[in-house]
Structure 1
Amino acid sequence: MQKDENELAPWQLAMGLAVFALLTAFGFGYFSYYFLVLVNGLLTDAAAVTINKGAFYCLGAALIGSMLLYFGGRKLQGKAVTARQNKQASLVFFIGLGLAVILPQLIHYPSASYLQAQGYSECELQSRQWLHDKVMVYTSTPEHCIELTRAECEESPERQKCRLLPQFSTNKPLSG
């Protein structure tokens, strides 16, 4: 059997798999943590409930990462991939991709509707978005939203949102 010049050395493959293992573990952990935070908030009528859509994207990505780890491990062991395993890998890939695309919406919209029906409103000062990674914080009262933001600004007054609160504003009043 002739070795392909583009094939990775075993140590390179092992290092790549270690990185994938860390990312996959992070994805499962990140998803699990924020899923439990959401469920806990919904079940306990907490004063603030967080919906982290980015964490729900991570479940699909971690599932795909698990599949890559499995096949990378087989490659490292020198085992061939059967046609059946290839078919299963395709299925896992499409399930993971589907979860990454659909699950955040399936969690976000019903949870947000439920919270709004319970009298919660989105706290814009605590919510944030970067590309598709959106974290929404719903609070039971507008006052609690301000309290959360004040507490956060006490620790880090340089944050942009802190400038919206009068006591942390660095804007000097205009004098005429």
Structure 2
Amino acid sequence: MQQNEDTLKTWQFVIWWLVIFALTAFGLIYFFYYVYQLLQGLVISAADITVNKGAFYCLGGAFLGGILLYFGVNKLRGKEVSKAQNTWASRAFWVALGLTILLPQLIHYPTASYLQAQGYNECELQSRQWLHDKVMVYTNTPEHCIELARADCAESPERQKCRLLPQFSANGLTIGSDP
């Protein structure tokens, strides 16, 4: 039996399957870790609560990875994809895409409203955004926000946010400290 040059060899297929497995596992772990952190902060009314929208994007990506893994296992076992499986996969794809797009917004806005109603404010010094991935840190007092930023700047004074804090100079030394 001659193999078409466009198809992957079994070892190449297994490597791709393992990569997709690793990315899917990472997405699920990342999602559940940040959901746990969020829920724990809400339950105990922590001084700072982090809402990581990227973690919610990862859930949809992990769901899509799960679909690919399912079909990858069938491919490795030599099973053909049935019409019912193809229909199921199409529906699951749209559900996963919907999760990827809608879930971060459905979590972010109600959580932000709830936290603001509870007296929390977004700590701009600790929050960050890259494209659609936004990590918002809410603190119960402005002082706690500055404490968090000071702690970060004490570890890495070269960070851009450290220039916004009055106690850090341009060279990373605190004002009034000995050189």
Give the 3-state SS of the residue equivalent to 2:125 in structure 1.
coil
Q: After superposition, where does 1:105-124 map in structure 2 within 5 Å?
A: 105-124=105-124
- Cα distance in 2 for residues equivalent to 1:106 and 1:49: 17
Partner of residue 4, structure 2: 4
Do structure 1's residue 63 and structure 2's residue 88 form an aligned pair? Answer: no
Structure 1 residues 22-80: Cα deviation after superposition (integer angstroms, max 9, x where no partner): 00000000000001111111111100000000000000100000000110111122110
SS, match of residue 167 in structure 1: coil
Q: Displacement of 1:3 after TM fit?
A: 3.2
Aligned counterpart, 2:86:
86
Unaligned runs of 5+ in 1: none
Q: Distance in 2 between matches of 1:136 and 1:45?
A: 16
What runs of 5+ residues in structure 2 fail to find an aligned partner?
none
Instruction: Report the Cα distance in structure 2 between the residues aligned to 1:86 and 1:71, rounded to whole angstroms.
Output: 10
TM-score, normalising length: structure 1: 0.95
Q: Output the amino acid matched with 1:133.
A: D
Mapped partners of 2:27, 2:169: distance in 1: 37
Post-superposition CA distance 1:107-157 (Å, at most 9, x none): 000000000000000000000000000000000000000000000111111
Q: Give the alignment's TM-score, normalised by structure 2.
A: 0.93
| 1:2, distance to aligned residue in structure 2 (A) | 5.7
1:101 paired with 2:117, answer: no
Percent identity between the aligned chains? 66
TM-fit CA distance, 1:169: 2.3
Q: In the aligned structure 2, how far is the partner of 1:167 from the partner of 1:86?
A: 61
Counterpart Cα distance in 1 of 2:4 and 2:144: 62
CA distances 1:147-172 after superposition (whole Å, capped 9, x unpaired): 00000111111100011112222179
RMSD: 1.3
Aligned residues: 172
